[in-house]
Chain A
Amino acid sequence: MAETLVVFDDIVKSFGDVIAVDRMSLDIRKGEFLVIMGSSGCGKTTTLRMLAGLDAPTQGEIRLGGHRINELPTWKRDTPMVWQSLALFPFLDVLRNVEFGLKMRGTDKATRRRKAMDWLERLGIAEFARRDISQLSGGQRQRVALARSLVTEPEILLLDEPLSSLDAHLKVRMQAILSGLQKDLGITFVYVTHSQSEAFSMGDRIVIMSRGRIEQIGAPVEIYRTPHNHFVAEFLGSSNIFRGRVVSVDGGLVSIETGRGRFRVTGSGAGTAQEGTSTVFVVGNDRMVLSQDRPADAGNFLEGRVIGEEFIGATVTIHMETGDGQEIRAQKSHGEIAHLNTNVGERIFASWQPESAYVLPGEIDGPP
């Protein structure tokens, strides 16, 4: 495993009565692209600001390269940040914006000019060196902000939702630039976002936060396929969630009684379930099989009616509702549903293999 660069050790941050970050412990590895994801107010930006030195933790210790940095003011750390608003200086031209960090650190004029130009060239905006910030497009400003933060050659770069103001097409291009840059430089990126697509396309590891706590840390696929708890599964929205009671455990085969019937689960995680406990299992949207006829296998299926469909590029997500009101989502390719009648109100069956269901380890023995 890679060397650890930053350690958050039992960090609490409160603003008056509001606890923004609640006893968080997190190791950030050298050279990784770490994405902190969560909805607004979950503490992700506060976490980043504490790392940058803009907010001080109320409790706990932050260590950078093994040294406590709680009391180190931001201007003495080398933790540059790319701001959501970009925070470019409007009264300076592009080159002077990029030079700013070097100037503040006392680098001589010739060196800082050369380094700044190198970065502008590397990011393909050298021709705009003498332009005002107001003359640049959104994508060009992004690059200026990146160059300004990277010009001091830091070992860690912090990014606070830097792509949120770009349109979708430009977002994808900037994502590619960011990923490429991070791999080339080999430095640590800590990226805060509420966008799943940004997190999953760039992150080596993803931290999911909610209400100041970490809900799960893991590689994108790991989080996607094996969410730790109900919150993560619901937040990602990529799985159908079922709550029930474990009625029998037979080796790797678990039977779970829900309000909608008894289902068999053999997927990973099933082995940890215990008879008599309540639990939650999930089935990925893309693992659902749709049919117009009642499935022959009497096991894992639900009957419902189509309530809508949603096109996302090459896939279609069919939304259906069971008799008792649970919404089921099935994500399919256009070919897979071509033979089905998916008009709203049509009767439809969703079924799945027992090995496609996954028992959430964070919900074992949870409340019924």
Chain B
Amino acid sequence: MNRNRLIDWGLRAYVVLAFAFVFAPIAASFVFSFNVDRFPSLPLGGFSLRWYEAIAEDPLVWEGLRNTMVVGICASVISTTLGFAAAYTDFRYRFFGKPVYLALALLPPTIPVVIMGLAMLAFLSRVNLSGEIHSVIISHVVMCSPFAMAIIRLRLSQMDPSLEAAAWNLGAGEWRALFHVIVPFARPAILAALFITMAVSFDEFAVAWFVSGLNETLPVRVLGFLQGQVSPRINAIGTIVFLTTMTLVILAQVLLMRRLGRVEEMPRTDEA
């Protein structure tokens, strides 16, 4: 096929530029985290791990990391459980007001985070749950569950509905069918949901800032640093958070690509 080479190259340049704008700041942060200089400037001063050493010695960073881990793990487990339940409800039942139920269940990510943070703070302080680590967990569960539900729902939509009925028919009660058929079928999506929700929670700053009180998560701690001084330590923390999040997202992607991508083939009619 004859293609216009100008358009061809133009489109390629466009893609490269788009990725450059997305990744250049992150790459810069990554590079400067290993730079010996106090201020980010070119040419680079020389390779050093001093900023990593600096954050490793800071008890506030360790405290933040611990909080982030606890929140991330709790929030991902709880929101994946809730998301699975919501997705299964959608798969299994028809009821009055189902579109409203679905809309409400998928709504939280569309709410601006500042509004969400304020609302969470107002609500949690009213019921005396604010300022603690569980406040962050509760808020993150609210924000993460829709992601978990969306991922698991997609997987369940690929399931032959007669699979569950077949399990009942073979003597499995409803709970046993759930654990022996629905959960195994959805397993890749459940794992992917765990990773994605953990990544979302790791990165989340605004709502955590509102409700965390003294129990700062890592992103909140970063803001604390920024307010005090501009230090390459932020680059170091940023690199760690970025790598963690990317690992989680890539793991989730791999799981989803491997299992969701494989369309259940129709039975072949040849006798092999």
Given A87-B160, A87-B163, A141-B267, decide whether A54 and B169 contact each other with a Cβ distance below 8 A.
yes
Q: How many residues of B contact A (CB 8 A)?
A: 28
Q: How far is the CB of A32 from chain B (nearest CB, A)?
A: 21
Q: Which residue of B lies closest to A79 (CB)?
A: B169
B268 touches A104 (CB 8 A): no
How near does chain A come to B163, taking the closest CB pair, in angstroms? 5
Instruction: Indicate which residue in B166, B172, B270 contacts A137 across the interface (CB closer than 8 Å).
Output: B270
Chain A hits for B185, CB < 8 A: 89-91
* B170 with A148: CB separation less than 8 A: yes
- Interface segment among A163-171, A322-330, A349-357: the answer is A163-171
A74 within 8 A of B: yes
Cβ contact within 8 Å between B265 and A104: no
Tell me the complex Cα distance, A249–B191, Å.
80
Given A101-B171, A105-B171, residue A85 in contact with residue B272 (CB < 8 A): no
Task: State whether A75 and B269 are in contact (beta carbons under 8 Å apart), knowing that A85-B160, A104-B176 are contacts in the complex.
Answer: no
- A75 lies within 8 A of B168 (CB): yes
- Of A53, A79, A91, chain B has the most CB atoms within 10 Å of the CB of A91
User: Secondary structure at chain A's binding surface: helix, strand, loop or mixed?
Assistant: loop
B170's closest neighbor in chain A, by CB?
A: A101
Q: Determine if A41 is an interface residue (Cβ-Cβ < 8 Å).
A: no
CA distance A170 to B170 in the complex (A): 26
Q: Which residue of A lies closest to B165 (CB)?
A: A54
Contacts of B169 in A (CB 8 A): 52-54, 74-75, 79-81
Q: Give residues 173-189 of B contacting A (CB, 8 Å).
A: 173, 176-177, 180-181, 184-185, 187
- A50-68: contact bitstring with B at CB < 8 Å (1 yes, 0 no)? 0011100000000000000
Cross-chain contact B267 with A81 (CB below 8 angstroms): no
Contact in complex: B272, A140 (CB < 8 Å): yes
Judge whether A152 is part of the interface by a CB distance below 8 angstroms.
yes
Using A75-B171, A138-B267, A170-B271 as known contacts, say yes or no to A91 and B184 having CB atoms under 8 A apart: yes
Cβ-defined contact, B170 with A54, below 8 A = no
Q: For residues 185 through 232 of chain B, which have their beta carbon under 8 Å from a beta carbon of chain A? A: 185, 187
Pick from B160, B187, B269: contact of A166, CB under 8 Å: B269
Q: Is the CB of B172 within 8 A of A104?
A: yes
- Does B162 lie at the interface of the complex (its beta carbon under 8 Å from any beta carbon of A)? yes
Contacts of B163 in A (CB 8 A): 87, 89
User: Which residue in B173, B187, B270, B271 is a CB contact (below 8 Å) of A75?
Assistant: B173
Give Cα A166–Cα B267 distance, bound, in whole angstroms: 9
Nearest CB in chain B: distance from A146 CB, A:
13
List, in ascending order, chain B residues with CB within 8 A of A104's CB: 167, 170-172, 176, 180
B42 close to chain A: CB less than 8 A? no
Nearest chain A CB to B43 CB, angstrom units:
56
Q: Which of B166, B171, B177, B266 contacts A165 (CB 8 A)?
A: B266
A268 to B160, CA, bound (A): 49
A224 touches B (CB below 8 Å):
no
- Within residues 227 to 272 of chain B, which ones have a CB less than 8 A from any CB in chain A? 264-272
Q: Is the CB of B184 within 8 A of A137?
A: no
Residues in A whose Cβ lies below 8 Å from that of B168: 54, 73-75
Q: Which residue of B lies closest to A78 (CB)?
A: B171
Whole-angstrom distance from the CB of B255 to the nearest CB of chain A? 14
A91: which B residues are within 8 A, CB to CB? 184-185, 187
| Residue with the highest number of chain A CB atoms closer than 10 Å, among B166, B177, B266 | B166
A89 touching B265 in the complex, CB below 8 Å, given contacts A75-B173, A100-B170: no
Residues in A with CB closer than 8 Å to B268 are: 137-138
| A139 contacts partner chain B, Cβ-Cβ < 8 Å | yes
Closest to A83 in B: B162
Given contacts A54-B169, A101-B171, contact A138 B180 (CB under 8 A): no
Partner of B267, one of A92, A100, A165: A165
Compute how far the CA of A297 lies from the CA of B13 in the bound complex, rounded to whole angstroms: 91
CA distance A79 to B166 in the complex (A): 11
Highest count of chain B CB atoms <10 Å: which of A78, A81, A89: A89
| A75 in contact with B172 given A90-B185, A137-B272 (CB within 8 Å) | yes
Which among A83, A90, A148 is the interface contact of B264 at CB below 8 angstroms? A90
Residue in A79, A87, A148 whose CB lies within 8 Å of B162: A87
**A201 contacts partner chain B, Cβ-Cβ < 8 Å:** no
A192 at the interface (CB under 8 A from B): no
Could you tell me the distance in whole angstroms from the C-beta of B270 to the nearest C-beta in chain A? 6
Q: In the bound complex, do residue B269 and residue A167 qualify as a contact, i.e. CB atoms below 8 Å apart?
A: yes
Interface string of A323-343 (1 = CB under 8 A from B): 000000000000000000000
Q: In the docked arrangement, what's the CA distance between A83 and B267, Å?
A: 13
The A100-156 residues at the B interface (CB cut-off 8 A) are: 100-101, 104-105, 134, 136-141, 148-149, 152
Within the complex, the shortest CB–CB distance from A119 to chain B, in Å, comes to: 14
Q: Can you list 7 A-B contacts with CB-CB less than 8 angstroms, sorted by A residue number?
A: A52-B169, A73-B168, A75-B169, A87-B163, A134-B265, A138-B271, A152-B171
Given contacts A138-B271, A139-B271, 4 further A-B pairs with CB under 8 A are A75-B168, A87-B165, A87-B166, A89-B163
CB within 8 Å of B: which residues of A?
Answer: 52-54, 73-76, 78-81, 83-87, 89-92, 100-101, 104-105, 134, 136-141, 148-149, 152, 165-167, 170
Nearest 4 CB-CB pairs, A to B? Answer: A87-B166, A138-B267, A101-B170, A104-B171
